A and B are shown apart, each in its own frame.
Chain A
Amino acid sequence: MRVIVLDDSKTMRNVLKSILTELGYTEVEETCSGPDALAKVAAFNPDLLLLDWIMPKMDGLTFVKTYREQGNKTPTIFVTTANEKTRVIEAIKAGVNNYVVKPFTPDSLGERISETMAKVAASA
């Protein structure tokens, strides 16, 4: 499964990539901004996107809206903090499929990914 990690923090991208590798997801691409992610998706053709919310240039909400307007249906998981949790409903309305709240364990991220992919497969 191909995964794109979109986060403006290099450290968080590294943490997420490391956890994804531990979970067995070895095809992981990283990107630091919404515009860069939009440019990368066509070439990488991801099965899943993990995205941060607060980013310069384009925030997570604008990214998801733009991504969906372009006809992309790839499942997206919003990686958020308890501080931003109140915006989850807004994110779901914009087209995010699921969310995970930092801090999280590798197992809880893995469960959230499996749950998301199963839901998307069931609704296809």
Chain B
Amino acid sequence: MSSSLDPSYVTAFVEATKKVFQTMLGLEVTFGDPVPGKLPYLANDISAIIRMTGGVIGTVVLSLPVASAEKIASAFVRSPVDMKSDDFADALGELVNMISGGAKANFAEKQVCLSRPLVMMGEGNALQQPSDSVSVSIPCRSSYGDFAIDVSLKKVSVS
């Protein structure tokens, strides 16, 4: 894989993110120019993480400040939730799962598996990816606040 992420992957994540937020939350999201990632990078306070394995190996992170995360989780579950609620992590996990699944459906590589999502909470977390991965951060803007989709991928050959 080259030192920059294939634009088709970025497009797949942008389209999937737009659709997930529009349909499940009725929330319009706009996107800034993707920023090539520097490793390790400082994540937002909340990171909903999913791993991809198979034809594409890597990590997808829905990275949000607490205020945005609480608004988004509340809109998803259709009732107010804060970060102490069980629904908070589950909602963000579901969202990153839907985004990753939707993006994956548009990959050229069809043999890609997704892990169960996990959600990391806390200030000042730095995420490190393997050095042979290529990372990009996709800035997302919405009326619930800004957030990002951070993607780090390594393409592999599957026989």
Contact = CB atoms under 8 A, between A and B. Distances in A.
Which secondary structure characterizes the binding site on chain A?
helix
A11 B101 contact: no
B104 A83 contact: yes
Contact of B77 (A15, A81, A84, A102): A15
Interface residues of B, number: 24
Interface residues of A, number: 18
Interface stretch (B19-27, B61-69, B124-132, B143-151): B19-27
A32 to B, nearest CB: 13
Nearest to B99: A103
A40 B102 CA distance: 33
Contacts of B78: 14-15, 18-19
Contacts of A103: 19-20, 22-24, 98, 102
B100 interface: yes
17 contacts: A10-B86, A11-B86, A11-B91, A12-B90, A15-B77, A18-B77, A81-B101, A82-B98, A82-B105, A85-B105, A102-B24, A103-B19, A103-B20, A103-B23, A103-B98, A105-B24, A105-B26
Interface of B: 16, 19-20, 22-24, 26, 76-79, 86-87, 90-91, 94, 97-98, 100-102, 104-105, 114
